[in-house]
Amino acid sequence: MPKLKVNDIEVVVEDGLTVLQACEKAGAEIPRFCYHEKLSIAGNCRMCLVEMEKSPKPIASCAMPAAEGMNIKTNTPFVEKARKGVMEFLLANHPLDCPVCDQGGECDLQDQSMFYGVDKSRFKENKRAVPEKHMGPLIKTQMTRCIHCTRCVRFATEVAGVSELGAIGRGEDMQITTYLEQSMQSELSANVIDLCPVGALTSKPYVFEARPWELKKTETVDVMDAVGSNVRVDTYDWEVKRILPIINEDINEEWISDKTRYACDGLLNQRLDKPFIKYNGKFEEASWSEVFKIIKSKFENSSNDKVCGFVGDLTNMETGYIFKEFFDRTLNNNNYDSRSDNRFLDNSERENYIFNSSINGIEDADLIFLIGANPRYEATILNARIRKAFVNNNTKVISLNDVGDLTYPYKNLDGQTQTIKKIFEGSEEISKEIIGASSPMIIIGESLLKLNSAEHLFHLIKNFLKKNNKFTEDWNPLNILSCDAATVGNLDLGILNNEKNLLEELKSNKFEIVFLVGQDNLKFNKKNEFVIYQGSHGDKGAEIADIILPGSAYTEQNGYFTNLEGKIQKAYKASYPPGEAKEDWQIINELAEVMNNRKLFNDIEELKSSMFNYLKLQQKKTNI
């Protein structure tokens, strides 16, 4: 633990930290371009120069390890002169096109030139011009603006694990590009846009859409996968202009997947903005009171046990809870489920359906066994964490199937269920490896749970781990990789029916009324069922509906989501639902009022406290 002085303030830092980190600890801000705490150190922008006692030259603080007895100064004229010199070189070839640059207003170079820039240029020669590089449909390049910090190259190589970016040529002729200008093939590629300290890499779909200061920023969570990445939603009036990551070290660190980032364009199209009724196979606009009246008469004309309901993959927990209450209290039946396929689930214990080792736990694991899961596409951010574990700890990864490139090497087995059986009966080499590992992780994907033998296999795996004392106080090796944002929340709320197989009954057309809340994945042949669809988008669910109730998307209402590790997070309202659409919980509440003359809940606060009471009771039951 070296002790050093920064601007006469004494700081003690951990071994292996750099002078820059020590300065930050002492409260001195250091300008930087190439340094990024999640990436390796390059030391090539030279912006972080500081003065060190006994050193005749300024030192690059990002690359200098903090050592005992150093005396660092960050605010002397010497330092300022050095940084001004660096800035002059950076600006020598940088175009003065801030007014037409998408980075304007949130540009590191722009900000820092306010402190260290000189108001006129001494550079009389022609500026370097670099042709635009093609990097695919998401990343727009304007390489003349590039200052060669190589953050993007390091990100692609280290974090994304797809070495596609590189710096070709050298000196003034150096250019950042992909190999022969091919598109970037990583699902984390758009993070280089956030990393770029200048406007060289910007977002192609967002090009010239808005200026950062015009946007309303709402910090919320993402629902595109079950990881629950923390994001910032930027809106201009109603429209969601872009989605950016925010830092949450326990979940997404600093990255989000491209799906998360660019799903927002779907919020503009195919929206359900008015209630619709289907007459003779054609949808016609209607008013809320009309549709509620029709629904009421339909419910009255059929017996309650002929009604079933399904909630979807992106609904928040409030909606799920009031949906359940609607069935329990208004309809007096429990024909509801949140699953759209026949997957095995034993919800007697919470650990049977969540990612128990936690995302942070991945870095502590010494053996990861993927069964029927492809984390790269099912939970991109989680896959990045596995890669991080591989890079830092050389964690061994085994996969039952060959799932293609996961960005880290893994051993793949033959993909047979027989192999799972053999392994967890303890007769294979891998069985011994699992027994020998101090903190193994078994990651079970949804495709395993959909097998007919899922129940047997699941218990076999769990019992094997129990028998070999892999469940300890601070380690739980059993992990279920859910794919959808609402899955774990809905299961916590008990939105499932274990008594009968609703899907089979639905397929054999036993129901008269089907109530779908954001559920588009059901496969059944519609006969005489009356289908009510509540949701935000006109998708498959709306197509088969007889009545459409326009709901809200995840950016348009407050709501809780539980991510795959069982962490509950709140999504905040960034925009409002379009047209006459309402928030999802409200619709069901009003429907209940029409049917029984009594609302289920007086307001959202009552709903929330009721929901949390239920969750607390549930948690007591399942020992968590």
Partner 1 sequence: MSLRRPAKNQPETFEFSSSSMEEANKIVLKYPEGKQQSAVMALLYIAQKQNDNWIPLAAMKYIAKFLDMPYIKVYEVATFYTMYNLSPVGKYFVQVCTTTPCMIRGANKLVEACKEKISDKENELSNDKSCSWMEVECLGACVNAPMMQINDDYYEDLDKEKTIEIFEKILKGEYPKPGSYRGRLNTEPENNRKTLMDLKNA
Binding site for partner 1 (CB under 8 A): 163-171, 173, 178-180
Smallest gap, in angstroms, from Cβ of residue 151 to partner 1?
A: 16
Smallest gap, in angstroms, from Cβ of residue 180 to partner 1?
A: 7
Smallest gap, in angstroms, from Cβ of residue 263 to partner 1?
A: 29
Which CB atom, from 163 or from 468, has the smaller least distance to partner 1?
Answer: 163
Smallest gap, in angstroms, from Cβ of residue 396 to partner 1?
A: 16
Which CB atom, from 71 or from 163, has the smaller least distance to partner 1?
Answer: 163
- Cβ(477)–Cβ(437) below 8 Å: no
Is the CA virtual torsion 116, 121, 122, 126 positive or negative? positive
- CA-to-CA distance for 263 and 51, rounded, in angstroms? 46
Helix axes 417-425, 454-467, angle to 10 degrees: 20
Burial degree of 620 (CB within 10 A; 0-12, 13-18, 19+): exposed
Task: Kindly report the number of other CB atoms within 10 A of residue 5's CB atom.
Answer: 16
Which CB atom, from 41 or from 174, has the smaller least distance to partner 1?
Answer: 174
Which CB atom, from 29 or from 173, has the smaller least distance to partner 1?
Answer: 173
Which CB atom, from 167 or from 210, has the smaller least distance to partner 1?
Answer: 167
Smallest gap, in angstroms, from Cβ of residue 254 to partner 1?
A: 23
Residue 217 forms beta bridges with which residues?
A: 234
Which CB atom, from 27 or from 131, has the smaller least distance to partner 1?
Answer: 131
Residue 276 forms beta bridges with which residues?
A: 285, 548
Smallest gap, in angstroms, from Cβ of residue 394 to partner 1?
A: 12
Q: What is the CA radius of gyration of the chain?
A: 28
- CA-to-CA distance for 312 and 490, rounded, in angstroms? 9
- CA-to-CA distance for 313 and 339, rounded, in angstroms? 9
Say which residue the tokens 């872009």 belong to. Answer: 242
Which CB atom, from 167 or from 595, has the smaller least distance to partner 1?
Answer: 167
- CA-to-CA distance for 184 and 201, rounded, in angstroms? 13
Smallest gap, in angstroms, from Cβ of residue 376 to partner 1?
A: 17
- CA-to-CA distance for 356 and 349, rounded, in angstroms? 12
Smallest gap, in angstroms, from Cβ of residue 407 to partner 1?
A: 12
Which CB atom, from 126 or from 597, has the smaller least distance to partner 1?
Answer: 126
- DSSP readout, 174-188? -EEEEGGGPPP--TT
Phi-psi region of 345 (alpha: psi -120 to 50; beta: other; left: phi over 0): beta
Q: Which long-range contacts (CB under 8 A, 24 or more apart) does 453-458 make?
A: 453/417, 454/343, 454/344, 455/344, 455/346, 457/417, 457/420, 457/421, 457/424, 458/344, 458/346, 458/352
**Residues contacting residue 136 through CB under 8 Å, at least 6 positions apart:** 183, 184, 189
Which CB atom, from 68 or from 173, has the smaller least distance to partner 1?
Answer: 173
> Which segments within 13-147 are labelled E, that is strand?
49-52, 59-60, 71-73, 139-141
Is the CA virtual torsion 444, 447, 453, 454 positive or negative? positive
Smallest gap, in angstroms, from Cβ of residue 89 to partner 1?
A: 18
Smallest gap, in angstroms, from Cβ of residue 157 to partner 1?
A: 8
Smallest gap, in angstroms, from Cβ of residue 165 to partner 1?
A: 7
Which CB atom, from 174 or from 277, has the smaller least distance to partner 1?
Answer: 174
Which CB atom, from 393 or from 613, has the smaller least distance to partner 1?
Answer: 393
The strand pair at 71-73 and 3-6 is best described as: parallel
Three-class SS state of 499? coil
Amino acid 609 reads S
Which CB atom, from 14 or from 405, has the smaller least distance to partner 1?
Answer: 405
Smallest gap, in angstroms, from Cβ of residue 447 to partner 1?
A: 30
